[in-house]
Amino acid sequence: MEIGTIQDSNRIVDGRHGSRTELIISFNVFKMKNLTTGFLGVLILLAFSKVSVAQNGEGQVVFDTVHNGTMPGTLITFGPGSGSLTGEPLWGPAGSFTFGLYIGPSTATSLSQMILIDTVGSSPAETLQSSPFAGMVVGGTVAGAGNAGSANGFSGMLAGITYDFYVAGWSTAAGSSYSEAIMSGLPQDFAGISELGNVVPTSVNDPIPPPWLFGTGDGQIGGFELKPIPEPSTIVLGGLSAAAIWALRRREQLIRSR
């Protein structure tokens, strides 16, 4: 038989190829590989889509210091001007102080660029000796807009997005926010604010635990001081002094430029 002729219905002999059946099987295997690769690609795409949805879903953080309240540098204390209380962990009857979580975009650097999204009252600490929670913020997990964000025009934190934040504390009797408190000038009241922090909330549907705001890690904040609130007249005089200094320097610059 000549090379290249059909020997039977299942075999072509040409000196190079195998049987027709083998060719068909090889072709089908090739198609299956392509189908499998395509299927895996779809699965990978769905997986990434799920991650994307999780990252853009409702986010959550932990607004609490109980997990590491005994760690140096994480307690809330009375600041300078507090008399004999200076340097002591914050204490007083339950609700004497309010702590607020202010959050904003990752470009925010001041409280005016942020929104108050959650508040928590201080835990009972009638005396420093009688309470294990003196100097601690006992809040818990904050999800979405918290307990105050919606009222302040904030729709809620998104998972996977970086936010800047501050935690402020003030005497509850002085107002419902940090700004109200520092403008009250009420005697014997206190207020203070943390350093700037940043956080990436996790999804409420994610098994990964939400990040803690307080701590010693990157982006976390440590403890801070609450100081006596100055009287309004002191604030006004301070503002006038700053304005006078600015005007004087501006005048000197104008004289030099002539």
pLDDT tens for the chain, 258 residues long, are 444 433 444 433 344 444 444 434 343 444 444 544 444 443 333 343 344 434 569 999 999 988 755 566 789 999 999 999 999 999 999 999 999 999 999 999 999 999 999 999 998 887 766 678 889 999 999 999 999 999 999 999 999 999 999 999 999 999 999 999 999 988 789 999 999 999 999 999 989 999 999 998 999 999 999 999 997 744 443 444 444 454 555 555 555 566
Domain that holds residue 89: 58-239
* Residue 2 resides in a domain: yes
236: left (phi over 0), alpha (psi -120 to 50) or beta: alpha
For the chain, the domain total comes to 2
Determine the Cα–Cα distance for residues 59 and 159; give it in Å rounded to an integer: 4
CB 109: neighbour CB atoms within 10 A? 11
Task: List the 140-143 sheet strands across, edge first.
Answer: 140-143, 59-63, 202-203
The greatest distance separating any two alpha carbons of the chain, rounded to the nearest whole angstrom, comes to 115
Verify that 30 and 120 share a domain, yes or no.
Answer: no
Verify that 161 and 235 share a domain, yes or no.
Answer: yes
Verify that 49 and 62 share a domain, yes or no.
Answer: no
Q: Which residues contact 148 (CB under 8 A, 6 or more apart)?
A: 100, 116, 117, 118, 119
Verify that 50 and 68 share a domain, yes or no.
Answer: no
* Residue 102 resides in a domain: yes
Verify that 133 and 27 share a domain, yes or no.
Answer: no
Verify that 170 and 94 share a domain, yes or no.
Answer: yes
**Backbone Cα Rg of the chain:** 32
Q: How many helices (H) and strands (E) does the chain have?
A: 3, 12
Verify that 74 and 50 share a domain, yes or no.
Answer: no
**86-97 b/e (C-beta count within 10 Å ≥ 16 → b):** eeebbbbeeebb
pLDDT computed for residue 86 by the predictor: 94
